[in-house]
Amino acid sequence: MKEESIFLDNVGDSPRMRVMQYLIEGREFDYTITDMLNANVSWATLNELLPKLLDLGIVIETRKVGRATLYKINKENTTAKHMMKLYHNLIMAKIDHVKKQYAIAAK
């Protein structure tokens, strides 16, 4: 069963947007490439996307642990900031909508 995503419904369900959603949701943490596979993208796709996101400054390398390199969303990048704000606004709009539905149903 596919999980519903308000963010992906609005920006389009593409591998790039799935990775962005994954990094936005976990913006306080850093991840290995293997961790990012949880965004439902293939290894090959992720290895193609990550260099582009790094070049754009949307994702940054945070540290190395052994042979693994960890990455996270760059909260200082303008594009990343806008994407995080969009994500937040979409979630808040959905919460407001659900609250109104429950309020109407309770009457």
- For 64, residues 6+ apart whose C-beta sits below 8 A from its C-beta are 70
- Residue in 47, 48, 46, 27 with CA at minimum distance from that of residue 38: 46
Higher pLDDT, 88 or 99: 88
Could you tell me the CA-to-CA distances from 78 to 2, 25, 61, 65, 84 in Å, in that order?
A: 31, 17, 17, 28, 10
Q: Is the pLDDT of residue 103 over 80?
A: no
Q: What are the structural domains of the chain?
A: 6-106 (1.10.10.10)
**All residues at 6 or more sequence positions from 68 whose CB lies less than 8 Å from its CB, including other chains:** 32, 34
pTM: 0.88
